[in-house]
Chains A and B, each alone.
Chain A
Amino acid sequence: MNVFDDLAAAWPLVANLESFLALAGGITIGVIAGAIPGMSATMAVALTLPFTFAMQPITGILLLLGVYKGGIFGGSIPAILIKTPGTPASSATILDGYPMAEKGQAGKALDMALYASCTADMISNLSLIMFAGWLASFALSFGPPEFFTLILFSLTIIAGVSGDSLIKGLLAAVFGLLLATVGLDLVYGTNRFTFNDANLMGGLNFIAVLIGLFAIPEILAYVWRPRSDKGQIRALGEQHVTFAEYRRCFRTIIRGSFIGVFLGSIPGIGAAPAAFLSYSEARRRSPNKKNFGKGELEGVAASESGNNGVAGATLIPLLALGVPGDVITAIIIGAFMVHGLQPGPMMFVANANIIYALFMGLIISSVLLFFIGGVAIRMFRYIVDVPKSVLMPAVLILCVFGVYAVNNNVFDVIVMFLMGWLGYFMLRNDIPAAPFLIAFILGPLLEDNFRQAMLMSNGAADILFRSWITWFFWGATFLTIAALVRTGLRQRSEAAEALRATTSE
């Protein structure tokens, strides 16, 4: 089948009311969750996942992608109106968005956030469509040694960029790998940490682990200190973005979008660094650089295009290589698996219609985001009014029903609660949860490919260096570790200097 045949086969999958409603519903849920401080796009995707079990694969995945995209944009609304980022990705939006709101230009800042988000989202989706297929066709030649080195490289990046402390990020990743060993051995079928409990023989349920790690700790954190994060909501004002202003910021939006696409396509970097890099580049090149931080429209355009440019691009490694680009796509990988699909190069061969249907759905999602985002901006006052003392118990109940529904098993609920307490312990000790989850997902793939390679070579380790691809990934892994260590050492010496300066004062 050629591309046109695949497109023709994909069209009926996405051109129906069910898919359209799933996308619209997903974006609405995402925008609302992103707009509520304390909720996050990650939590929203995790909580929506169990509701997709009863859906067709494409409908369920479109729903989750809608939540993802809506969540990234939704975070900008409280960032501008109440100086509280709804998601970490929208932290950079505060820098100029809130000063604009203070000047009575909140409507203008939110309009620009929406336009920049939709433009960047569209560019990101088009990049996905252009590059994912090419990368997948290249990856078709990968064998177990190549995949092993690729996953190792991905793990290094993910562990390294996920927190303030490199060591804690790596520790989290290693514990994720350990948890992934629970269950029957992949080669010999013997028990590993199952304690002869039948519930553990298939390994720990992925959804119970991820909901436990990302939703329950937020509830426990709220119970520790119940308080409202609701700040003073700024009025939208009468000013809106004109076409001339959009045109003035267009270059910044395009630059930010490509920064987002580039960083998003590298596993593990995520939306927040892309937003900050886009913002600093815009400030460096702008003729209005003195206004940055004081309410510059271009600043809002830069940060929002940076973070939304990531949203489609993170799907490039997911779809083409089967490696999640960030923690949300790690959850979406779970949705593929629940529906019996394995993302990766083979999916472009075996399920090309689903891939193309997803591409079409993503393009539609950019348009839907424009309309739903516009409504959400005006409804924010009501969205933020949801009391947390009702919201948090409601999240807990959603978690319980959702996790139980995976296997009709209360054991999964117990696993979720235990993971929740572990996640809370990690939260309080500044240990990032994202490397833990991603390592938990990639762990079996890493081990499986390693052992397959060893089976192929009868135990000779030189198979892991058999091609230029493996050498490339070994080199990239080595360079990443060296760069991370160097950055860590530099940060430490800077901290020491700062401490010395303070003590001498």
Chain B
Amino acid sequence: MPGGPRTAPFPIFICVAQNGMKLHSKDVWLGAGVVTFGVFLLVYAIPVFVASPSNVRVMFLSPTFWPDIISWLIIVLGATLIITRMFGPPVVASEPVDVSEMSRDEINFAWARLVAIAVIMVGLVMSTPILGMVLSTALAFALISAIVSTPRPVTALLVAILLPLMLYAFFAHVAGVSVPQGRFLSLP
């Protein structure tokens, strides 16, 4: 299993049963979101964003046919998710959930780190044409290492500098990829 967090990602939606099962009340919300999205597709997104010629002879060949079928499937599956979670027994979680495993402060810091990495991703994309891919990724590496409070800052710094350079050398000189250079640093 991925070593991902299973602990209270959306604490307000999770109820924890005493035996370690989680009552999937958040699945009801998930199902509601899915049904809403399916309806949105049928009512708005497909008519507006899927162009269909007026001379389509056979319904099955229309460009909207497949998206329509998928939208209906989304609605049906979303509704099934809601019904099974509302009226069925609680589902055994893939891993036991213990909301007390992380304190409130830890959860707040975790959210802050997620927001920070989202900002880094946006920054990386926006800074690539200006700083170049090598500098942008090196900076992103260093910032992420700082966010997760790396116990080996010197190693992290060295890798932050060397890895983008090595990748640049491979992709630019072996694979023939035109790696963005940026305005301040021009690599051979």
Contacts and interface: CB of A to CB of B under 8 A. Distances in A.
Interface stretch (A240-248, A278-286, A402-410): A402-410
Contacts of B150: 387, 389-390
B60 A461 contact: yes
Interface in A213-255: 217-226, 229
Interface in B44-65: 45, 49-53, 56-61, 63
Given A400-B137, A429-B30, A224 B91 contact: no
Nearest to A175: B74
Contacts of A344: none
Interface string B160-188: 10011001101100111111100000000
Contacts of B178: 408
Nearest to A432: B94
Contacts of A493: 89
A101 to B, nearest CB: 21
A405 B60 contact: no
Contacts of B94: 164, 430
B74 A417 contact: no
Contacts of A502: 17-19
B141 A455 contact: no
A193 B49 contact: yes
A40 interface: yes
Interface residues of B, number: 89
Given A224-B5, A502-B19, A171 B81 contact: yes
A316 interface: no
B21 A174 contact: no
A414 interface: yes
Interface residues of A, number: 78
B124 interface: yes
Nearest to A418: B121
A446 to B, nearest CB: 9
A165 B94 CA distance: 10
A417 B124 CA distance: 11
Nearest to A489: B88
The residue in B45, B141, B144, B152 that gathers the most chain A C-beta atoms within 10 A of its C-beta is B144
Nearest to A221: B4
Contacts of A392: 144, 148
Nearest to A190: B51
B5 A191 contact: no
A218 B67 contact: no
Interface string A15-57: 0000000000000000000000110100000000001011000
A390 B113 contact: no
A224 B113 contact: yes
Interface in B103-135: 110, 113-114, 117-118, 121, 124-125, 128-129, 133
Interface in A150-195: 164-165, 167-168, 170-171, 174-175, 177-178, 181, 185, 187-188, 190-195
A413 interface: yes
Given A222-B3, A389-B152, A394-B159, A178 B74 contact: yes
Contact of A224 (B26, B89, B110, B167): B110
B63 A492 contact: no
A430 to B, nearest CB: 6
Contacts of B4: 217-218, 221, 224, 424, 427-428
A226 B133 contact: no
B141 A394 contact: yes
Given A38-B3, A392-B148, A458 B58 contact: yes
B152 A387 contact: yes
Contacts of A320: none
Q: Which 8 A-B pairs have the closest CB atoms?
A: A221-B4, A459-B58, A496-B89, A389-B150, A54-B175, A190-B51, A185-B63, A226-B148
